[in-house]
Amino acid sequence: MTLSIAVIGAGTAGSGAARRAAELGARVTLVERDAPASGSSGRSAAIYNVQTVDPLHIELRMRARELFFRLEAERGLPLNRIGNVRVAWTPADIERLEDVVKVQRDLGLGPQDSQLLTRRQLQELVPDLETGDLSGGLFGPRDGTIDGGYMCQALVDEAVELGATYLKADVIGHEALPAGGHRLQTSAGDVTADVVINAAGAWAGRVADVLGYSVPVLPQVHDIVKVRLPHPLSYTMPMVNLYMPGTEGEALYFRRFDDDTLLAGLHTYQVLDDHPIADPENYRPEVEPSYVEAVQKAIDERLHLDGLVVEAGWTGLYPLTSDGEFIIGPERHDESVITCTGLGGVGVTSGAMAGYTAAEWAIHSAPSTIPGARRWAPGRETLERLPA
């Protein structure tokens, strides 16, 4: 008998889950109340890269990037390979990045994918960057920017071509069926399914409430600003990320947007104590003036360019968790409910493959493309200790 799966949410995770589940032969209904990528997936800084430090995250991002390259070749997905730099602040950071390169090489990546940079090489790559307090960095030449909306729509299109149904509707009720499975009450009628995948991102807690369980996802508002350049640069500004995973607080990132503009912001993987937990149905839509001022100060200190002007851009939600990790896998109270959320500020670079992992949990009872993703299963102890 063909397994039926209802996927809730058509952001990067949900569109990836629907595509993978349809490919594996399930009967899929993808339920989205608006349009693909209408939530956080369409309000990001639109970066994809494999330059992170955790081996499991490196593998996930690598598989996601392979997917992006295929969608580029077969579906015309726009990718802009401006490159991605993760800076090293200390010699110890350089050692961590050396370990990253070893992991990448073991996974089959080569010099075209990552290059360790000395401070001098970093300065040559980004001539206007202040590097006096840096030790070097890691550069990914094939990384860059991606159109999140286009990517989600491409995955939805492939899912539909593989037999999935796309239903534009809101989930408003749920009933556990006596013989097993689920009936979702939606604004467009009922949907029955053997398995439900909650891939609603920052809205996963709201969806979980409807389904009768809880998800410890903590949405926080993060802002993106535009930086007007005094003149076009003579080189392509890559994505420059001054945040080293595992450090406290936020750090500056910036990247090329067009000839006259950079996008910038402050990034973290952590829940910030001074940020309220947001209601995704009613969160702050405008960038705060204090944030504009903070980025202005940070970027003036980091780039040797007179006349930079920081302007408000837009806001989005980071669906974070207390331990800084994803939540992907079956719920303990009912293994026919799969949760896929907690992607924080890396949903575009990681979400599609996170969705693939959720679909494999639903169909194979385990992640098969990336077996180590078992680590992200719900119910782990570190998720149960939520901040006040």
> Percent of the chain, pLDDT > 90?
93
Give the tens place of pLDDT for each residue, 9-21: 999 999 999 999 9
| pLDDT reading at 166 higher than 50 | yes
Cα separation, 145 vs 262, whole angstroms: 12
| pLDDT reading at 154 higher than 60 | yes
Give the tens place of pLDDT for each residue, 12-66: 999 999 999 999 999 999 999 999 999 989 899 999 999 999 999 999 999 999 9
Give the tens place of pLDDT for each residue, 170-217: 999 999 999 999 999 999 999 999 999 999 999 999 999 999 999 999
Work out the average pLDDT over 68-93: 97
- Sort strands 165-168 and 27-32 into parallel, antiparallel or unpaired: parallel
Two domains, one topology: 4-42+148-216+323-384 and 81-145+219-320: no
Residue 175, pLDDT score: 97
| pLDDT reading at 388 higher than 60 | no
Look over the chain and give the mean of its residue pLDDT values, rounded to a whole number.
96
Radius of gyration in angstroms for the set of CA atoms belonging to the chain, rounded to a whole number: 21
What single letter denotes the amino acid at residue 299? I
| pLDDT reading at 385 higher than 70 | no
DSSP 83-150: -EEEEE-SHHHHHHHHHHHHHHHHTT--TTT-EEEEHHHHHHHSTTB--TT--EEEEETT-EEE-HHH
| Cβ-proximal residues to 223 (8 Å cutoff; 6+ apart), any chain | 265, 266, 287, 288, 291, 312, 313, 314, 315
Q: Are 88 and 137 in contact (CB under 8 A)?
A: yes
Strand partners, 289: none
Domain 4-42+148-216+323-384, architecture per CATH: 3-Layer(bba) Sandwich (3.50)
Residue 129, pLDDT score: 98
Q: What is the pTM of this model?
A: 0.96
Give the tens place of pLDDT for each residue, 281-292: 999 999 999 999
User: Which CATH number does the domain 81-145+219-320 belong to among 3.50.20.10, 3.30.9.10, 3.40.30.10, 3.40.718.10?
Assistant: 3.30.9.10
Domain ranges of the chain: 4-42+148-216+323-384, 81-145+219-320
> Percent of the chain, pLDDT > 70?
99
Give the tens place of pLDDT for each residue, 259-276: 999 999 999 888 988 889
Q: Are 326 and 269 in contact (CB under 8 A)?
A: no
Buried b (16+ CB within 10 A) or exposed e, 324-347: ebbbbbbbeebebbbbbbbbbbbb
Of the pLDDT bands very low, low, confident and very high (cuts 50, 70, 90), residue 248 is confident
Question: 341 or 268, which is more confident?
Answer: 341
Residue 284 CA from chain centroid, whole number = 20
Of the pLDDT bands very low, low, confident and very high (cuts 50, 70, 90), residue 387 is very low
| pLDDT reading at 329 higher than 60 | yes
Residue 359 CA from chain centroid, whole number = 17
Cα separation, 227 vs 296, whole angstroms: 8
Which tokens is 146 given?
């991606």
Of the pLDDT bands very low, low, confident and very high (cuts 50, 70, 90), residue 119 is very high
